[in-house]
Amino acid sequence: MRAEPLQIDDLLGDAYPDAHCELDYRTPLELLVATVLSAQCTDERVNLTTPAVFARYPDAAAYAGADRAELEALIRPTGFFRNKAAAIQGIGAALVAEHGGEVPGTLEELVALPGVGRKTANVVLGNAFDVPGITVDTHVGRLSRRLGWTTNTDAVKVERDLMELFPAERWVMLCHRLIFHGRRTCTSRKPACERCPLADLCPSYPTGEPPAPKKSRAKGRSRSTKQ
């Protein structure tokens, strides 16, 4: 393993000692629902929306039996509310039918749920169950390319590249730190390289532009909220 990625993670740890999941939740189910709602939506907006949702639907059975129009109205501020409502209601039904109403603690079981992809599954596993996983959101993907850890744009390939660079015990916090850094310093449109604690080690400094990434074949855009 190269020393540089670990050194960068250490510097990020110094810069963001309070890095954490910024979605508000108390239980694995609340985190799962919040993460589904976070697709193409900010965590801040999700956190403003979920208190009413969590109060109205305290368990998987409540989501499964929810009035669809009422659920859609509650989550409407997060966008794509019809797709998200269908996914959340489907998750509730699947949890009741297959898992005794409880959120499962394995990647395989989580990604089998409606609307749940590897990103969502890894968020739940890492934060609710302390199971190591790498969550490749837009920030993690962008920073990984800027730092020269990957040239891939496909999230699964980025996940695998990072798994090779870092030991499992670092995976969850690494992602939190990268997300904090991506939101506060290394932003998409105008990275603040002049005040970045990683500038001396970053191959993209001072322009913020990484080497041209490999292009993944796309089959066209969709509005799927599975992530």
Give the end of a domain, one of 96, 128, 160. Answer: 128
- Global pTM reads 0.88
Whether the per-residue pLDDT at 2 is higher than 50: the answer is no
Position 216 in a domain: no
Annotated binding site for [4Fe-4S] cluster: 186, 193, 196, 202
Residues contacting 218, CB < 8 A, separation 6+: none
Position 124 in a domain: yes
How many other C-beta atoms lie within 10 A of the C-beta of residue 224?
12
Domain housing 76: 28-128
Is 137 assigned a catalytic role? Answer: yes
Number of structural domains in the chain: 2
CATH of the domain at 7: 1.10.1670.10
Residues contacting 140, CB < 8 A, separation 6+: 134, 158, 162, 175, 178, 179, 182
Percentage of the chain lying above the pLDDT 90 cut: 85
Averaged pLDDT score across all residues of the chain: 92
Q: What is the pLDDT of residues 51-99, one digit of tens each?
A: 999 999 999 999 999 999 999 999 999 999 999 999 999 999 999 999 9
Shared domain check, 47 and 7 = no
Position 222 in a domain: no
Shared domain check, 166 and 193 = yes
pLDDT at 215: 53
Q: Which residue in the list 24, 43, 137, 154 is annotated as catalytic?
A: 137
Residue 225's pLDDT band, with cuts at 50, 70 and 90, is low
